[in-house]
Each structure stands twice: as C-alpha cells, then as structure tokens.
Amino acid sequence: MKLLNLTNRYYIVIALFLLLISVSFLTYRVIYLMDKEISDHMRYEKMQIEKQIALQPGIQDIPFVLGDRIQIDPIPKFTTFKVILRDTTVLLSEGGKILKVPYRVLSYEQLISNKSYRITLWRRLTENRDLGRGLVTTIILVALDIIACFYFLNRWFSSKIWRPFYRAINVLKKFDLQKGGRVLFQRSNVEEFNTLNAELTKLTDKVTRDYRNLREFTENMSHETQTPLAIIRSKLELLLQSENLKEDQVGHIRSTLDSVNRLSKMNKSLILLTRIENEQYATEDLVSLGNLLRKQLESLDVFIENKEIQVQTHIDDDMSVRMNQHLADILLTNLLSNAIKYCTRGGELSIMLTTQRLMVSNTGPPLTIPGDQIFERFKKGDSPDSVGLGLAIVKKIGGHCNLQLHYEYINGMHCFYVEFRPDRVVVRTV
C-alpha cells in the first residue's frame, strides 16, 4: 500500500471516530435543550392559564378544551399540589390512518378564586423528533462533505509535498550498476528530502565503486589464477610421461594433479557464482530447453553408456523459457552431470520437460545429508572428487532467472524439479 493511501486511511478513520463522538454529543445536547425548552414553555403556559381563569369569572365553572393543548376541568375538591409531567402516546386518525402521536402532558390541580380545577396541558413532540432526525441528517451530510474535502485536499497537498521523494524513487529504479554513472537527484524545498538525496548519492556511489572493484577482482582472479593452474597441470602431465619414475612418485603426481584439477574447477565455479550474484548475466532470450537437453544428452552419451544407464525422456519441444542462454546451458549441464554421476550402474535416468516444470531424476541410494541442504555450497555427500558447488550454482541460476527448485527422494529416485513461472514460458503454436 502506498504511503499516501495509508496516511489518508488513518486520517479518515480518526476523523470518522471524532465526528461520530461529536455528532452523538451535539445531537444529545440539542434534543436535551429542546426537551427542556418544551417543559419550561408548558410551565409558562400553566401560569398564564391560571391568570386568565382568575380574570374571567364567567368560565370558572365550565369545563372546556382549547384545541388539543389545554384542558380545564372544575373539580369538587382540591387534593394535591403535585405537578405531573409525563410523556405519553395518543392514537389519532389522520387521512384514514391511525397514528401513534407522542405527547408531553403536564397535569396539576389549582385553586383559583377559592375554586378547584384540574388543568392538563398537551404538547406534541413530533416537532422534537423531526427536528432531531433533520439535525442528524444534516450533520452527517456536513461530515461526509468535510471528510471528502479533507481526503482530496490531503491527497493534493501530500502529493505535492512528497513529489521529491517519488522523483528520488524513480531515479533509483532507473539506476543500473552495470551501466555505471553517477546518480543525480533534484533539489527540493524540504530540507529532509535534500538530506535523504545526499545520503542516497553517497550510498549509490559507494555501491558503484564496490561493484566495479569486485567485478575487476573477479575478472583478474579468473585470468590470473587459471593461467598458473594450467601451467601446473601441464607440468604435472609432462612429469607423468617421464621415465624412471617410482610408483610412489607417480601416485604423488597423480594426487597433486587431481588436486589442481579440483582447484581449477572450484575456482571456475566460485567465479561463476560471483558473476551471477553481481548480475553480470542480465540479458535474456527465448531459450528452447528441449533442444538444449538433446544436445547435452548427446555430449554426455559416453558417460551414459559407460555406466549402462537407461535414459527415458519426455520433452516438449514447443516450449521456450525466457532466460539467459549461457545460464540455461550451465543449469542443464550441472543437473544432467549430477544425475549421471550419482546414478547407479545400470540404473535409470528420467528427464521430463513440460510447460510447468523440468524434472531430472536418477536411481541411487539415499543421501547421507539432509535433503534440504543439497543445494548449499560444499555439501557433497560421500563423493571425494566433487567440489560441492554444482547444485549450488543450479540454485543460484534458479534464483537469478525466477525459477523455483526443489528436491525429493521418491521410490529410490533422486528427483530434481525446476518450476517455471507462467509469464516466462512461451509455447510455440502451429
């Protein structure tokens, strides 16, 4: 979620909460004041009625009703000074319908000119109720209008204030270590953003320098170490061809030659891992894995025949995967070489390629290490001549090319799965 939307969400929730409390309090106060005003007005009318009856002796002995609000009845004897104020509901017929109308009733007894009266005042409360509803509706509409204005104004102000931040984000998105160059940020009127841009410039400059130095180191190591190793290898091979060598000398030379070959192989693997981590294989093509698999099997045919391995293939030649061509070749080479190397003599090698996955499986005894560690560096099990980097390279290539890799041991078969993302698979249509 974007920062602007997140802050707006918090602001709106807080505003709604505060408005709910304010509307509830305001509505309660208005209704309370209106209710109090009605009661006070009825008491005022009570005093006015008493004055009028006292001033007009001709109506003192006559019961009468003024509209639906005032009822005056002479009574034989005055009994109490108590004034009763209550709310009630009266059934009225209006337009052929029976309606329940709320009333407030003030009832009391009064002595006027030595005569007793029961006086009852009626006051409709529908105005109070309608006014309360109208008040709540008005406040809600005003609240919604305020929230809407607040939301859009806040978005406008925030987008304007945070514009330098988003410009910096766009600059960082376009930053490419391989192309190099200095990252330039625009100055802002906000001091904090200028400080952030300055620190980002220092950081990107340092990252660029470190990347350049690491790349130079990798290239130098690749060149400077392979040459001496090749010389050592050739000298040792010449020594093996020498005459009058003792058996133990031959053994020492062969052992040294094996160590040099392992060192050379390890050096190449580590340099490859470093190059992948440094994103030096950024180019992508549509790679036909089916053709690559068949070429790899042809080149490894000698090793397959030497171990009398039965090969079963199910390859979809119509699918291609978007990835680096060189890395795809290394991925398949390492998977197939590993499967052939650890396959039992006379065993089975199965290769299945579909639009969803590549599966390479081979027969063999269970692992001596946990299955979840098989893709880690230098995890080579019981094989003394392995450097333990082949499957680590496969895992690194998978992460670089957005491929999911996992391993299972099922019914005596070591199964390696490479899962393809649908958006990276292209199927050829006829």
CATH no. of 285-427? 3.30.565.10
Residues 82-131 pLDDT 10s: 878 787 777 766 666 777 777 778 887 877 777 787 878 877 776 656 66
- Identity of residue 319: M
Give the pLDDT score at 170. Answer: 84
Query: Using CA atoms, how far apart are residues 339 and 349, in angstroms rounded to an integer?
Result: 7
Residues of the chain with pLDDT under 50: 67, 384
Query: Using CA atoms, how far apart are residues 169 and 163, in angstroms rounded to an integer?
Result: 10
Could you tell me the two tokens for 320? 């291609």
Could you tell me the two tokens for 111? 């002595």
Total residue count of the chain as it appears in this document: 430
Strands 310-315 and 115-124, sheet pairing: unpaired
User: In the chain, where are the structural domains located?
Assistant: 3-158, 176-280, 285-427
Nearest CA to 149 among 3, 1, 11? 11
Give the pLDDT score at 67. Answer: 47
324 Cβ contact partners less than 8 Å away, ≥ 6 residues apart: 281, 282, 283, 284, 285, 287, 400, 401
Give the pLDDT score at 58. Answer: 58
- Identity of residue 63: P
CB 178, CB 282: distance < 8 Å: yes
DSSP 231-278: HHHHHHHHHHT-SS--HHHHHHHHHHHHHHHHHHHHHHHHHHHHHHHT
Give the pLDDT score at 377. Answer: 66
Region of 114 (left: φ > 0; alpha: ψ -120 to 50; beta: rest) is left
- Identity of residue 330: I
Give the helix/strand (H/E) hosting 202.
helix 191-240
Query: Using CA atoms, how far apart are residues 169 and 263, in angstroms rounded to an integer?
Result: 44
**Looking at the whole model, is its pTM more than 0.85?**
no
